[in-house]
Amino acid sequence: MKTRSLKGMILLAAALLVTFVSNAQNRLIVNADQGKTTISRHIYGHFAEHLGRNIYGGIWVGPNSDIPNEDGYRKDVMQALIDLEIPNLRWPGGCFADEYHWTDGIGDPADRPKMINTHWGGVTEDNSFGTHEFMNFAKKIGTEPYITGNVGSGSVEEMSKWIEYINFDGVSPMADLRRRNGQEEPWNIKYWGVGNESWGCGGNMTPEYYANEYRRYATYARDYGGAKLYKIAGGANNWDYNWTEVLMKNIPLWMMDGLSLHYYTIAGSWENKKSATQFDKETYLETLRKAAFIDELITRHGTIMDKYDPEKRIGMIIDEWGTWFQVEPGTNPGFLYQQNTMRDAHVAAISLNIFNKHADRVHMANLAQTVNVLQAIILTNETDMILTPTYHVFDLYKPHKDATLLPHHLVSEEVSFGKEKMEALNVSTSKSDDGTVNISIANIHPDKKIDLDVVLRGIEAKNVSAEFVTAPAIDAYNTFEKKDVVKKAAFRDFKLNKDSLKISVPANSVLMVRVK
Ligand code: AHR
């Protein structure tokens, strides 16, 4: 008897210990009463360059096309972007911006000169999608335009006149030209980029040279009437911390509002990128580890910015980010068309969680790119469209937009394959204006469901609702034949008990849990 009860007690103690350890292993404490920083909705921005079938065929087919369109814009794509409520759209590049001459893209389309898109496939650009077409599109989809001007092959005068054309209300040569082209009112654009990747495709400049150029261009980028420009200087690539240092030191702070940063997640190396759809678990983790590296980049570039701008007035604008894999076999290598799997969904979730975390400095971000290019949210063929796993993550994350960032503490188990190792869970927490707490969780483990104990501090939780994006495998993706392999769905595998919540986070999934 005695021995049995001793055994029983030992077993009970062991069971308790196992429970304790497993709870301690995957545990999230959310401090719902401690938020200070707003997560700008502009972190959820997008980017549409004249590249491949992004603008032409993706967004714009022209009013005479057989593809269902409204004033030349594809109806299916337009509706998907309206549904996603995208806060801003960057245009016309990218590298294209620094060889784009805006006057070629106004007036009667039949009279617009053609040019070669030297960066992207060497194709002929007919300029049928220009300033008016872009601004009208932004209006139709309810987004804020973000235009990048040409520093690399343009002139101060050219950029200055473009701004006058777009924003000046009075009588002037450019405002009159705009009116003759059918637009009476100025568009009052706010976001303006002064060049793109000036260290590379935008002119191969040194940081010292670009800083001087920026000062000249920004001087003549005028504020007209009620339109105060938010000027964004072309920032660093990856870990070029010297670029950030030189710009912050040499550009007077009052002359800029944002400084950009570009970072792409690559599997393999830049010269030898791996496939978008065929990868093993080690490569999968390699990709996600590289995506998570942006945390360090933001911290280190941010530390330099803090030195000159401790108030954090100047936004870090991550206006190009996302995955860059091999193009789909058989497609034009210059068009950067790649498929988008559940791995991309995790890259999006991790990146957006990190941007939220740094919301005090990261004021805007733009995924590269919108349709048919790199980590696209939409893929099209001649007549049809699919939403990618990345689209669904952006859809899932809507509650974080303009919410207050909440501090949290996460303890997560690890997942490892080959040489790669990461925490299996990746989280962001925020509070909406109506008091709802939003918890986004990525479980990157390909095959293991994780039981997560959530402690909710500072909120009397009564209702929980959740949605998730998941797929049968990490390399699953949507095709024109099977459009819903990866999709968003309701999620119910959680249990609320006073101030604690238990969530069974499915393997290979991204969740948005909302607690009120
Ligand atoms: O997004 C594709 C290209 O990547 C952009 O044109 C350029 O800015 C970057 O190098």
State residue 8's pLDDT score: 54
pLDDT at 502 over 70: yes
Percentage of the chain exceeding pLDDT 70: 95
Ligand 1 pocket test: pick from 197, 240, 261, 321 the residue with the most ligand atoms within 8 Å of its Cβ. 197
**Catalytic site residue from 320, 382, 423, 467:** 320
Architecture per CATH, domain 20-35+406-515, reads as Sandwich (2.60)
DSSP codes of every residue in 465-511: EEEEEE-SSTT-B--SS-TTSSEEEE---EEEETTEEEEEE-TTEEE
Distance CA 400, CA 398 (A): 5
**Residue 225: pLDDT band with limits 50, 70, 90:** confident
Contacts of 508 (CB under 8 A, 6+ apart): 342, 443, 444, 445, 446, 447, 470, 471, 473, 474
End-to-end CA distance of the chain: 50
Which regions of the chain carry the CATH code 2.60.40.1180? 20-35+406-515
Query: Active-site residue 467, yes or no?
Result: no
Quote the tokens at residue 303. Answer: 């530390």
Is the Cβ–Cβ distance between 368 and 320 less than 8 Å? yes
Taking residues 97-110, report their average pLDDT.
98
**pTM for the whole structure:** 0.94
Ligand 1 atom with the shortest distance to the CA of 200: 10
pLDDT in tens, 138-188: 999 999 999 999 999 999 999 999 999 999 999 999 999 999 999 999 999
pLDDT in tens, 243-283: 999 999 999 999 999 999 999 999 999 999 999 999 999 99
pLDDT at 508 over 60: yes
Ligand 1 atom with the shortest distance to the CA of 197: 8
What's the distance, CA 172 to chain centroid? 37
Measured at the CA of 362, the angle between CA 361 and CA 363, to 5 degrees, comes to: 105
Distance CA 506, CA 445 (A): 9
State residue 23's pLDDT score: 47
**Catalytic site residue from 197, 460, 467, 481:** 197
Query: Active-site residue 185, yes or no?
Result: no
Query: Distance from the CA of 342 to the center of ligand 1, in angstroms?
Result: 23
Quote the tokens at residue 263. Answer: 């970072």
Three-class DSSP labels, 353-386? HHHHHCCCCEEEEEEECCECCCCCCEEECCCCEE
Which regions of the chain carry the CATH code 3.20.20.80? 41-402
Does the beta carbon of 95 lie inside 6 Å of ligand 1?
Answer: yes
CATH class of segment(s) 41-402:
alpha beta
Does the beta carbon of 49 lie inside 6 Å of ligand 1?
Answer: yes
